[in-house]
Amino acid sequence: MNSDSGWLISVFGLAIAMTSLWMLSRARALWQRDATELRSQVEQVQASCGQEVGQLREALNALETGMSGAQEALRAGRLNLSVRSQALQMLRSGSAPETVASSLGIAASEARLLTRVGQVLALPPESHPRV
């Protein structure tokens, strides 16, 4: 080999090394960008899950509160004749069963049952279901 070909090979080798380093640098920059995007997405998903868990806790607390209120009503016998008549009057006046339940301190299912009972009682006798 003469000195010109050795010099040419050195230049090509240097060019290949420089290109490889540039490509490696570019790949690293792309990897860091992707890692940052993924980290951001993970943080968003974690925040969303945290909010949903908070909402589920609130819903569970509301259910437990409603359940304890219904259990207290059953123990205390709050759905007596007076409360039933008040509930029926409120339901006939157009109040929603949930509204009646919360204002009288009874379970919403009891208010809905009273609505159905009131509707059956309002039917003419010939249309009552036979048992």
Which pair of structure tokens corresponds to residue 9?
A: 């090979």
Which tokens in the block code for residue 119? 């509707």
Cβ-based burial of 69 (10 A; exposed 0-12, middle 13-18, buried ≥19): middle
| Contact predicate 97/91, CB 8 Å | yes
Is the distance from CB of 110 to CB of 100 less than 8 angstroms? no
- Residues 51-94: tens digit of each pLDDT: 999 999 999 988 888 777 666 655 665 566 778 888 888 888 88
**Polymer length in residues for the chain:** 131
Report whether pLDDT(48) > 90.
yes
Asked whether the predicted pLDDT for residue 40 surpasses 90, the reply is: yes
pTM above 0.75, yes or no: no
Domains in the chain: boundaries: 36-76, 78-124
Which tokens hold the place of 87?
Answer: 């509930």
Instruction: Centre a 10 Å sphere on the Cβ of residue 87 and count the other Cβ atoms it contains.
Output: 25
Angstrom distances, CA of residue 30 to CA of 35, 42, 63: 9, 18, 49
Considering the chain, what is the average pLDDT of its residues? 85
Helix %, strand %, coil % of the chain (to 5): 85, 0, 15
